[in-house]
């Protein structure tokens, strides 16, 4: 059985294909240097429709240097789409045919950023395959919470050995249109190996006033524990950080979104039986990825907040207290 997942391309007869979304997501954490990287590849729209787009993003936030990286947008016919991968000219993620290794690469010479990595699962995958209602459609989820990495990242003239970094991967797919009354809050909070990793997820409406139950997954020693109830998320303050907004044309179009109200701090609490976790996250920097719906007018704003976290708690009678790096995603 594969450690990773396949894309869920709709059939030609699927009447919901215009709302199709499919998304491989990878986060990398440099605990020694404080850097956080994001590599995403996604598909939106009916594959047979020329408007459908494949999008790749590779971004790195390095302390003291800010964001580098960019977004690439192409038609499906300009991308290589295989059952377990999306390969664009500059950004790609693919699982090899054995299902044991995930490959990711990015080549952004204008940003002086390059990346080549191979990742293998360091924890058991988590399948959350039931389709949760989401906007006019649904969303489903598959998570490989911890990966062991090989490879390197190059920034300017510096080369980083990724073997010392930790990583998180997930796959989202479903049917919805960007611009609908949807949003989410999601986060991956990674301690240096062999420490724990925490994954937070909550679906919301666009204004984050209507909130669906939040989930918190705690992964340690390759095992996961999911809190499905009793999870609370509290935001504090307003992050006053420079915002990198991409793609540039859509940033220009959505000038009124240049100063979103993003939380400066976040507190997550979860308790179930004897298990409990309290986690605090502080925002250091943020990027805004603007998703334009190719099938009809509409936009969504995916804010990637990076920073540090601190957690205390006990799960399965084990101490899961940790500090580390995190990405918190706030979507409006």
Partner 1 sequence: MLLADYILGLVGAVAVAEPASFARLRGIVGDRSAIVAVDAEAVSLRFEGESLHATSIAREVPAPDADGIGATDRQTVLDLLAGRIEVAAAIMDSRLHLRGTTDGIVRMSRAIEILIDVAVRVPRLQQIARAYRDDPAGPIAPRRPAETGRPAALRAAEIAMLGRLGLLPGADSQGGTSETLPDGGKTA
Binding site for partner 1 (CB under 8 A): 50-51, 70-71, 73, 75, 110, 242, 244-256, 258-259, 292-297
d(CA 71, CA 84): 21
User: Which of residues 8 and 51 has its CB atom nearest to partner 1 in the complex?
Assistant: 51
d(CA 161, CA 147): 15
31: left (phi over 0), alpha (psi -120 to 50) or beta: alpha
d(CA 149, CA 166): 7
CB of 296 to partner 1, least distance (A): 7
d(CA 246, CA 72): 10
CB of 245 to partner 1, least distance (A): 6
What sign does the CA torsion over 315, 319, 323, 324 have? negative
User: Which of residues 6 and 241 has its CB atom nearest to partner 1 in the complex?
Assistant: 241
Would you tell me how many other CB atoms lie within 10 Å of the CB of residue 317? Answer: 7
d(CA 204, CA 134): 9
User: Which of residues 3 and 72 has its CB atom nearest to partner 1 in the complex?
Assistant: 72
CB of 53 to partner 1, least distance (A): 8
User: Which of residues 66 and 83 has its CB atom nearest to partner 1 in the complex?
Assistant: 66
CB of 308 to partner 1, least distance (A): 23
Spell 82-115 as b/e; 16+ CB within 10 A means b: eebbbbbebbbbbbeeeeebbbbbbbbeebebbb
Would you tell me how many other CB atoms lie within 10 Å of the CB of residue 261? Answer: 10
What sign does the CA torsion over 252, 253, 255, 258 have? negative
d(CA 183, CA 305): 15
User: Which of residues 86 and 216 has its CB atom nearest to partner 1 in the complex?
Assistant: 86
User: Which of residues 138 and 299 has its CB atom nearest to partner 1 in the complex?
Assistant: 299
Largest CA distance in the chain: 54
User: Which of residues 45 and 151 has its CB atom nearest to partner 1 in the complex?
Assistant: 45
Provide CB contacts within 8 A for 325, sequence distance 6+.
Answer: 29, 30, 31, 34, 36, 189, 190, 306, 307, 308, 309
d(CA 69, CA 91): 11
CA 33 distance to own-chain centroid = 21
User: Which of residues 279 and 306 has its CB atom nearest to partner 1 in the complex?
Assistant: 306
User: Which of residues 71 and 95 has its CB atom nearest to partner 1 in the complex?
Assistant: 71
CB of 20 to partner 1, least distance (A): 15
CB of 32 to partner 1, least distance (A): 28
CB of 92 to partner 1, least distance (A): 19
CB of 188 to partner 1, least distance (A): 24
CB of 261 to partner 1, least distance (A): 13
């Amino acid at each position: 059985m594969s450690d990773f997942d396949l894309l869920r391309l709709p059939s030609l007869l699927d009447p919901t294909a215009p709302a199709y979304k499919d998304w491989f997501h990878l986060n990398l954490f440099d605990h020694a240097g404080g850097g956080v990287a994001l590599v995403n590849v996604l598909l939106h729209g009916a594959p047979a429709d020329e408007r459908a787009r494949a999008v790749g993003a590779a971004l790195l936030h390095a302390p003291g240097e800010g964001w580098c990286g960019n977004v690439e947008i192409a038609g499906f016919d300009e991308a290589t789409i295989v059952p377990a991968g999306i390969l664009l000219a500059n950004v790609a993620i693919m699982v090899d045919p054995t299902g044991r290794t995930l490959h990711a690469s990015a080549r952004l010479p204008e940003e002086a950023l390059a990346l080549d990595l191979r990742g293998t699962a360091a924890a058991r995958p988590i399948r959350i395959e039931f389709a949760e209602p989401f906007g006019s459609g649904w969303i489903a989820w598959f998570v490989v919470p911890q990966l062991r990495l090989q490879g390197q990242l190059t920034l300017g003239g510096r080369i980083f050995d990724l073997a010392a970094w930790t990583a998180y991967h997930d796959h989202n797919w479903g049917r919805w249109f960007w611009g609908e009354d949807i949003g989410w809050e999601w986060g991956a909070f990674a301690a240096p190996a062999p420490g724990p990793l925490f994954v937070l997820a909550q679906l919301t409406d666009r204004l984050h006033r209507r909130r669906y139950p939040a989930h918190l997954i705690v992964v340690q020693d390759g095992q996961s524990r999911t809190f499905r109830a009793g999870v609370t998320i509290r935001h504090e303050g307003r992050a006053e950080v420079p915002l990198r907004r991409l793609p540039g044309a859509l940033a220009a179009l959505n000038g009124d979104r240049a100063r979103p109200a993003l939380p400066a701090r976040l507190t997550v609490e979860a308790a179930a039986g004897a298990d409990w976790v309290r986690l605090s996250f502080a925002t250091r920097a943020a990027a805004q990825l603007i998703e334009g719906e190719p099938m009809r007018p509409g936009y969504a704003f995916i804010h990637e907040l990076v920073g540090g976290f601190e957690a205390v708690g006990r799960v399965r009678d084990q101490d899961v207290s940790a500090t580390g790096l995190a990405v918190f995603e706030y979507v409006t």
